[in-house]
Amino acid sequence: MSSGPLALSERGTLIVPVALADLGALAEAPTQQLGEVALTRKREHHFTVFGYSIGKHVKKALAAHPDLGPALAAAIAGFDWSMKLGARLYHLVQTNEKGTLHTLISTAEVDLAGFFARARGIVESCAGAEGPLFAALGAPPPPHVTLYTSDPQGVLGIGLNTEADLSAAIARVDTEEPGLRAYGVTAADLG
């Protein structure tokens, strides 16, 4: 967990740091091998609350509604951000014009849905229910922590904005459809 107070970034994003010690044996090794893919432990671990897709709406809403910032800050400070790793591991594969990136994520148990409900209520009272931020807060990202990445610097990750993104990536595994793919793995698959 975080050693300092959590706050929205200048971009309107919100991440909660996770200490390496909280990840246990899953993230002990500095590198892992997953089949033919060499993975490097992420330099920093976190779970995302507001990613860039929501952050852009947060930033605009904060500029338009001055009372929204302090209300969200109080909700962030008062929320229980306790997290424990979940039971599922996924190997994510994203190919785009920059190449192919592989990551290994663990699901996490954290009440993102509860925080989104609270944030949505704050947005409704401060900015109304008609704007894009209110709509974006309808579905939290799937709670997860990226443990390893094929980026040798240990920096790059793959964003998952909603549970629907993860479900679609899982469904894409057995199709020719382009896009993010998510393969279920176990700790025994790592070496």
In the numeric block, which tokens belong to residue 49? 């609350």
Give the pairing type, strands 144-149 and 181-185: unpaired
The predicted-structure confidence for 80-100, as pLDDT tens digits, reads as follows 999 999 999 999 999 988 889
Binned at pLDDT 50, 70 and 90, residue 2 comes out as very low
Mean pLDDT of 57-81: 96
The DSSP code for 142 is P
Judged against a pLDDT cut of 60, whether residue 1 lies above it is answered with no
Can you give the pLDDT at residue 116?
Answer: 98
In the numeric block, which tokens belong to residue 29? 């090794």
Q: Give the phi and the psi of residue 46 in degrees, each rounded to 5.
A: -160, 170
Long-range pairs for 33-38: beta carbons < 8 A, 24 or more residues apart: 33/190, 33/191, 34/91, 34/102, 34/104, 34/148, 34/185, 34/189, 34/190, 34/191, 35/189, 37/91, 37/102, 37/150, 38/150
Domain ranges within the chain, ordered by starting residue: 14-189
Q: What is the pTM of this model?
A: 0.92
Q: How far apart are CA 138 and CA 95, in angstroms?
A: 28
Q: Give the phi and the psi of residue 50 in degrees, each rounded to 5.
A: -115, 110
